[in-house]
Structure 1
Amino acid sequence: MKTFRILALVAALGVGLRSAQAQTRAEWVATTATAGWVAQPAPNVTASAGPADAEIVLTQPLQVIQGFGACFNELGWTSLSALPPADRAKVLRELFAPGVGANFTICRMPIGANDFSRDWYSYDETPDDFAMTHFNIANDEQTLIPFIKQARQYNPKLALWASPWSPPTWMKYNHHYAAAAVRPEQRQAFPLAENGLPADRQGQEGHNLFIQEDKYFAAYALYFAKFIEAYKQQGIPVGMVMPQNEFNSAQIFPSCPWTAAGLARFVGYLGPQMRQHQTRIFFGTMERANEALVDTVLRDPRSAPFIEGVGFQWAGKGAIAGIHQRYPALTLYQSEQECGDGKNDWKYCEYTWTLLKHYIGSGANAYMYWNISLKKGGISRWGWSQNSLVTVDEAAHTYHYNHEYYLLKHLSHYVQPGARRLATTGAFTNLLAFQNPDKSVVLVAQNDHDTDQAVRFRVGGRTVAPVLRAHSFNTLLLK
C-alpha cells in the first residue's frame, strides 16, 4: 500500500509538471519601421529563479482595462467610401471583428460637427427652438450612421460614447460655431481655415461661451436626449456622453469654452435627462493639466451625483495620475490620442508609445485613437493635417495601415476587456503588462535602442527571454 501511494504521488507530480509546462506557452509578434505585425518564433518559457530584467507582479492587479478604440468622424467615412465596397469591408472587419485584428470594443463619436466633419452643422439651427421641434440627424444619415452601423456588423457589442464640439450656434453668446477668429498667418498657411468669425466675437479660456441661462441649459439637455433617442431609433445605443470636448479651448473650428463651474451647472440639467435614457455621464474632455477643474465638477452638488468618470486628452495627460491617486474608484478614459501632422511616420509612432505608457500607467481604463481613416495627406475641413490608422489613396482607390495602427493593435488585439494592468519591477521599464480574464498574461515591450536587445521577463516563477529587434514593438502572450 505504501509503495502504491509513493508511485501515485510520483505520477501526480509528473502530470503536474507536464501540465505546468503545457499551460505556459508563448506567442510573439513584432513590428518595426519596415515590417508591421510579423509573427516571431515562439520563445522558450522556462522555470527559473535566476535574475530577470523585469518581474511581472501577478499578486496585486491594478486598474481594469475596458477596451481600446478610435473615433467615428465624418472624414473617416468619406475616405473609406472612396474604396471599393469589398476593401472597405476588409478594413472594418480588421478593425472591429473580434479575434481578427484590432478588436476595437469602445469608440467615440461627435454630437454634431467636429473638426473632422465635412463642414459645420448641428442638429437644430433654428433660433430659440427651446422645445427642439426642429431637431434632426439627417446629416448623420449620410456619414456617421452608416459608418457606425457597418462597424457594428462586425462587433454588435461595440460600446459607443459621444461629446459635442459646439452646441447649436444660437445657444452661444457669439452665435457662431467657432470660438476663435482665423489669424492672418493661419489664413495664408491654410486657406481652408477661414470661418468668418470676427475678432470681437471670440471666446476665451476661463469664460463661458455658452449662454448661462436656465432655459438654455434645459434646452441643451433636451438636445442631448433627442440625440440619444434618434440614434437608438437607428439601432445604435450610445452608452455615455461627455458634456464638451476640450472645454478650455477656443478654436477656429467647432468649439465652445466653458468654466468648470458652468459645466457643473449644466450637468445638473443633463443628469436627469441622461438617467431617463440609461446613459452615463463623464466629465470632459479635459485638455489641461489642472486637477482643480476636475475637483470642481466632482465636488459640486449639482453635478457630483451624475459624474461616473473623466476623459483626458492632450495636456490633460498631466492631470490623470493625480486624479487617479485621489479618486481611485473613478473610471478614467484617455479620450483622444494626439493627432500628429499627417505624415504618419515612425517617429510619431514611437511618441505614441510614450502616450500609451503614460495614460495606462497613470490609471486609464480605456484608450481611444483619433482618426480611423483619412485620405492621403489627412487634411481636415479647416486645413489641419493629421495622422490616422488607415490612409486611403483616393485616386488609386487603395489603402494601407499606418505604423500607429500596428502599435495600437499590439495592445488591443491581445488585451481583453476586463483585463487588469499589472505592475512590473526591475531595470527594464519600457513595457506594459496585463492579465486577461482567462489568466493569460500580455507583455508589450519596446526596444528603442539601435541594436537588438536580449531581455528576461519573469512571470509567476517562469521566465521568457526573447531578443527584441532594434527599434521594435513586441507583444508576448503567455498562456
Structure 2
Amino acid sequence: MSKIMKGIQYFSDKDHEMTCQEVFESQFMSGAVTLEVSETPVNYGFLGFGVAITGASCYELFQMEPQQRRKILEDIYSEDGLNLSVARLSVGASDYSAELYSYDDEPFDTALEHFSVERDKEYIIPMIKEILEIRPDLYLFASPWSPPGWMKTGGQMCGGYMRREYIDCYAEYFIRYLKAYEEEGIIIRAVTPQNEPETHQFGKMPACIWHPEIESSFILSLKKKLKENNLDVKVWMYDHSFTGTQRVLWMLENTKGLKENCDGAAFHYYDGAIEETMKIRKQYPDLELHFTEGGPRLFDNYGNDWCKWGIMCSKALNLGYRSFTGWNLILNECGGPNIGPFFCGGLVTEDRVSKEIEHSGQYKTFRHIAPFIHPDSKIYAVSPDPYFGEYMSQYPNIMKKTEGFLIENKTEEKVLVLVNPNQNKMQLQIRLEQKWYYVEMMPESISTIVFQR
C-alpha cells in the first residue's frame, strides 16, 4: 500500500514570503472552486528560467566586493537558490549597457579586420565566467540590439534600418562573436538575429528595424555559416512582442527553406497576448517557442508584482514554451547603468549608498517555481472546472480565475503552483490520486504546494 501524500504550502502575499503551512486531505466541498489537471503533460523538456546578463548587470556586479557578489550569484544560480538555468547575453551594447559600442566600429570594414570583443573582457566576460563557475550547465543565448552603425541606414547604432547588402557580412560578424566567446570558455547555444526588429526607438538607444524579408535572408545566411564552421547553435527568429505572430507566420510561409533552418521563435510580453502565438504552434508544432524578455518596472509595483509574473509564467508553461527569460539580472537603485529611455528594474536591485539588496516581485515568483522544475519534469495544466464562472452581480469586481500548473518529478514529488490575482480569498480543492485536498489562497498571492509521500 502506497503512503498517503502530504502537502506543504509555501505562499507569498503582501505580508508573507514563502510562508509555510500544511495542506490536508479533505472531503469534497461543494462551494469551493474545483481545479482540474490535464490528462497529459503540456510541457516536457523545459530548459528553465533565467534573466539577461546585460552589460549593465555585469558592471554593477563588477563594482561589488567579491564576497557580496558571490553570495548574490549563488542565491540566483545555485540549485539551493533560485536555480536559474538560462541566461541571455547582448551582442555588443544594449540599452542596459554602461557603454555604447559594437565589436567593429570601423566604418565599412566588410572584412571585419577590426572585429574585437576586447571591450567585453574588462567586466562582462569576467562576470559571465563567475556565474558559470556556479552554474556550469547554464544555457546561454545571445541577441544584438544593433549591428554596427555602418551596416544600417543613418550610419548609427541608435535607430535606423538594417541594409540588405550587409547580410552576409553580419552573419560572419556573428560567427566571429561566437568563436571569440568560445575561446573564453563561454559556449553560446542559441542566437536571435535582432532584439525587437520592429522598432528603432526614435534613436534613443541601440535599436534597428529589420524588414521580414531581410531577417529571413539573414537567418538562411547565418545558418549556412554555422554549419560551415561546425557550430551547433540554434537560431530563434523575431524576438519581439506577441503581436508579431502574423509576421512570423508570413516569414515561414513565404521564405523557401526558412522553416527547415529556423529552430524557434522568441517573444516578449510588451504587447499582445501570449495566446496569439498558438497560431504558430498549430501550423508549426516542431518550432520551439521561447519567452525571451520581460522584467520588473522600477517604479511600478517593483517588489510586489508576483501575481503578474506568476500568471505570465503559468501561461508560458501551459502553452508549451521551452524557456522563460526575464530582463536584467541586477541594476542599481536608479535602474542603471542605462543608455536608453526606460526605467526597468533588475531581478534584484542594489542600493549604491546603503548597499542593501531588494528583491523584485519577479524574483519572488521565480522562487516559487524555478527550484522545482528540472529537465525531466512533466508539467500539466491546471484550471478551474467548466462550472466555474463569473458572478455578474459583482460586476465590475468580477472574480478572476486561478492560474496554475502541476509539476511531476521523477522522485514522485508533485508540485502545484497557483496564483490568486483577486482581492478576495479563494477556496480551492483538487483531486490527486483519488484524494481531495483543500487549498486556501490569500488575496493577491502565489502558492507552491509540494506533495510528497
Structure 2-normalised TM-score? 0.88
1:431 pairs, out of 401, 404, 416, with 404
CA–CA distance in structure 2, aligned partners of residues 440 and 131 of structure 1: 55
Equivalent residue number for residue 332 of structure 1: 289
CA–CA distance in structure 2, aligned partners of residues 161 and 141 of structure 1: 18
**Structure 1 residue 227 displacement after superposition:** 0.7
**Structure 1 residue 87 displacement after superposition:** 1.6
Structure 2: give runs of 5+ residues left out of the alignment: 389-400
CA–CA distance in structure 1, aligned partners of residues 25 and 135 of structure 2: 34
Larger mean CA deviation between 282-291 and 132-141 belongs to 282-291
Equivalent residue number for residue 391 of structure 2: none
Equivalent residue number for residue 293 of structure 1: 247
Equivalent residue number for residue 262 of structure 2: 307
Any conservation in 2 of the 1:342–1:388 contact (CA below 8 Å)? no
SS of match in other structure, 1:129 = coil
CA–CA distance in structure 1, aligned partners of residues 435 and 238 of structure 2: 42
1:220 aligns with 2:170: yes
Please identify the structure whose Cα radius of gyration is greater.
1
Deviations for 1:281-301, whole angstroms, at most 9, x for unmatched residues? Answer: 111203251322112332312
1:68 aligns with 2:49: yes
**Structure 1 residue 348 displacement after superposition:** 3.6
Letter of the 2:432 counterpart: V
1:233 aligns with 2:187: no
CA–CA distance in structure 2, aligned partners of residues 20 and 302 of structure 1: 54
Equivalent residue number for residue 106 of structure 1: 86
Equivalent residue number for residue 361 of structure 2: 403
1:248 pairs, out of 178, 195, 198, with 198
Any conservation in 1 of the 2:296–2:347 contact (CA below 8 Å)? no
Equivalent residue number for residue 200 of structure 1: none
**Structure 1 residue 58 displacement after superposition:** 5.5
Equivalent residue number for residue 132 of structure 1: 112
1:476 pairs, out of 406, 430, 449, with 449
CA–CA distance in structure 1, aligned partners of residues 171 and 272 of structure 2: 25
Equivalent residue number for residue 20 of structure 1: 3
**Structure 1 residue 72 displacement after superposition:** 0.5
**Structure 1 residue 95 displacement after superposition:** 0.7
Deviations for 1:56-101, whole angstroms, at most 9, x for unmatched residues? Answer: 4363111222211010011112223343221211110011112x12
Equivalent residue number for residue 440 of structure 1: 413
Equivalent residue number for residue 122 of structure 1: 102
Any conservation in 2 of the 1:261–1:296 contact (CA below 8 Å)? no
Equivalent residue number for residue 414 of structure 1: 372
Equivalent residue number for residue 71 of structure 2: 90
CA–CA distance in structure 2, aligned partners of residues 120 and 471 of structure 1: 40
SS of match in other structure, 2:243 = coil
SS of match in other structure, 2:350 = strand
1:357 aligns with 2:340: no
2:134 pairs, out of 150, 154, 162, with 154
1:263 aligns with 2:220: no
> Could you say what the CA RMSD is over the residues aligned between the two structures, in angstroms?
2.2
Equivalent residue number for residue 340 of structure 2: 382
Task: Give aligned-pair identity as a percent.
Answer: 24
CA–CA distance in structure 2, aligned partners of residues 59 and 350 of structure 1: 26
Larger mean CA deviation between 105-114 and 320-329 belongs to 320-329
Any conservation in 1 of the 2:295–2:344 contact (CA below 8 Å)? no
Deviations for 1:19-68, whole angstroms, at most 9, x for unmatched residues? Answer: 232xx232321111233222x1232246x677673444363111222211
Alignment of 1:157-172 (within 5 A): 157-172=137-152
Any conservation in 1 of the 2:307–2:445 contact (CA below 8 Å)? no
Letter of the 2:11 counterpart: A
